[in-house]
Structure 1
């Protein structure tokens, strides 16, 4: 009987091994492979392909013309076909520490790397990702430190007449400390939503690591949906699996300045449902691109609400044609805001960003009026690599 059981076990193991081989085929292709010197090899098994390329932000950027100016597009490199139809490309130089994104182009069709399960959506584009550790990029990794909690929540916005979704980060120990915390409202750019900063911006990893290192105060971070016509991120609302878009038709029917006018609804919800410290000294607001525009307008329209303001890759300017109270009397509102002496007014931009000139013009206007601010300039353009940098620079300055 014992011998029969052993034979049966061997047969089962053989069957399992055969089944795995039948399901997965030959040995798996490793991609991306990060070498000890931080060069990276990308591989794709495509024996019938004529051309295979890789495109990603680890390659030199390509300038492309758009209606909004020159943007930086990810570079492209050719893979070379090798044994068993496996195509391969290795970077010629080590990659600097960073979170990188990439995808393959096979005979003109962009596809994901089937060997890499890690992917992120940016508006309507999905890419694979990988991290080269070291330096600032270690802040983007999940390290062995106390971790905060990320929650997706719904709040009611009477101003917009709908329930809306937000993402909230609470620092490690929030659930048991009994303490009250300052709040940082972090806004996304055009086409983004309440998922953008937590996924692409690595907000929870950055805050976990900065707080653990004693470089940032423990804080609550609230990531809103800045599209006033939208309940939530695509696929997370009652509209179902809608196609993400930078300029959906719904936006045409949205009242100008609606998001700014409705922002107190978010603050009221957060301060009712979380243990928060009250007052402008305990509130910060910042955003990238469109979120920078929103942050500038909200902080100017509600000058007693936020003591800390961050404008990443964007600014704001006069809009004489607007009928919205948010944008009216620009100079007067800005004068009132700065008369209250912001604890920090922070501006950051890449030196090849298409908004660089408008940011420079805005800074010139602030200088001419004697309005104090702090400025940070980085290399590169309108890209998440920069916005992650700005978050790591801005967060440690808050609530000191």
Structure 2
């Protein structure tokens, strides 16, 4: 079982005010700096957080230390480490000496833990690895390469950034590879899937174990869209990647994953034989779009060509009654139309923990003979 941990944060309650240094929905980067700058603008005190040697206590114990004003209430906020507590806030840190605070937790399972290491806006989070040969670790295996690409989008009239993973050995040979496209909206920058999602390390390790096929992965942040088949992605991203990377042709060598990409499975001109939906594909802005989607697409599911083309429709979601109901209903509907469906459910309390598990289950199922 893969365990993913989100960044740890520091929360100070200062005489009725609270200063919370955290990452926004976009993951590491600009949102983090923005929160720090906003806290400074409001004259709220941010403390520095240092983490002790993961092995200093033995038995996988971690020590957090920080400094502040004597008598303050200081807590660590981490939905991963304290998911049983309200809002992921840990116990109050102990004031070992005036103005010096400490908290020891554990034993902590193996994995990669991001944490806030400084209150300087120019710095990003740090991470610590508790070794255990998990899929999320950078193990002693051949590693692929992640390239960050920036190009102008005529569709959006702005610059777009996306990331491309090429498997180990890509630069040393002339082979072509199957390709997975991972799409998400702008609220989650593409680098989050690498830096927090650990996608490249998970795939490196699965390939080394012989459990996944070597593949190219294209991670794209897209504008929020519902049922529009993502014109920017089709008109710009796919042609660019096809021109600049060695992609195997044909739908059987293409997969697409994301939140609302169920549309691509029902294309009249199919490009993807594998489709994966993360989380609920129909709950948008508090609205349940399931019935609307069925009304628009029911006829497509009866298309013989679509039924022959699709090799896998995979759903991954957390244990959540509303989401589970939608996916169960859709899975049964697709299966009735002879479309291959698999559902993976994660019991992890944190959404990024679940997404890492999604990768571990999905990637070995793609492009198998």
- TM-score using structure 2 length: 0.73
SS at match of 2:299: helix
Distance apart, 1:205 and its partner CA: 1.4
Q: Output aligned runs, 1:361-372, within 5 Å.
A: 361-372=329-340
Q: Which of the numbers 58, 62, 82 marks the counterpart of 2:81?
A: 58
Please give the secondary structure, in 2, of the residue aligned with 1:355.
Answer: helix
Deviation at 1:189, TM superposition (A): 5.5
The alignment status of 1:273 with 2:244, answered yes or no, reads yes
Where 2:222 maps in the other structure, the secondary structure is: coil
Report the equivalent of 1:262: 232
Does the aligned pair in 2 maintain the 1:33–1:42 contact within 8 Å? no
Query: Residues 146 and 172 of structure 1 are in contact (CA less than 8 Å); yes or no, is this contact kept in structure 2?
Result: yes
What is the rounded CA distance, in whole Å, between the counterparts of 2:274 and 2:97 in structure 1?
57
Greater RCO (Cα-Cα under 8 Å, separation 6 or more): 2
Cα distance in structure 2, aligned partners of 1:353 and 1:131: 34
Over 3 Å counting, the alpha-carbon distance change for 1:187 and 1:40 in structure 2 is same
Deviations 1:168-205 (A, max 9, x none): 11112212201111111012366102222111111121
CA deviation string 1:292-325 (max 9, x = no partner): 21x21233336511011111212345464x9xxx
Structure 1 range deviating more: 300-309 or 379-388:
300-309
Other structure's SS at 1:145 match: coil
Aligned to 1:331: 298
* Greater shift in the superposed pair: 263-272 or 38-47: 38-47
2:118 pairs, out of 114, 120, 124, with: 114
Equivalent in the alignment of 1:76: 90
Q: Find the partner of 2:140 among 135, 144, 147.
A: 144
Residue 357 of structure 1: how far off its partner (Å): 3.1
Contact 1:310 1:347 in 2 (8 A): yes
Is 1:344 the counterpart of 2:357? The answer is no
The answer for the alignment partner of 1:201 in structure 2 is: 197
- Offset of 1:361 from its aligned partner? 3.0
Residue pair 2:310, 2:339 contacting (<8 A) in 1 also = no
Q: 1:30: Cα distance to partner?
A: 5.5
Q: Using a 3 Å threshold, how does the CA distance of structure 1 residues 263 and 319 change in structure 2: closer, same or farther?
A: farther
Contact 2:49 2:117 survives alignment (8 Å): no
Secondary structure of the equivalent of 1:53?
strand
Q: Which of 173, 182, 186 is 2:182 aligned to? A: 186
Shift of 1:362: 2.4
* Alpha-carbon separation, structure 1, partners of 2:337 and 2:272: 21
* Residues 377, 257 of structure 1: alpha-carbon distance in 2 compared, 3 angstrom cutoff: closer
Secondary structure of 1:356 counterpart = helix
Q: Matched residue pairs, number?
A: 310
Q: Which position in structure 1 is the counterpart of 2:130? A: 132
Q: Which runs of 5+ in 2 are unaligned?
A: 1-47, 283-288
Distance (Å, rounded) in 2 between the aligned partners of 1:282 and 1:197: 22
Structure 2 counterpart SS, 1:362: helix
Q: Give the aligned CA root-mean-square deviation in angstroms.
A: 3.2
Cα distance per residue 1:266-293 (max 9 Å; x no partner): 1111111111101111111112xxxx21
Give the structure 2 partner of residue 39 of structure 1. 61
1:139 is paired with a residue whose SS is: coil
Between structure 1 and structure 2, the one with the greater Rg is 1
Where in structure 1 are there 5+ consecutive unaligned residues?
1-27, 64-72, 103-111, 121-126, 229-254
Who is 1:99 aligned against? 112
Name the residue aligned to 2:104. Answer: 90
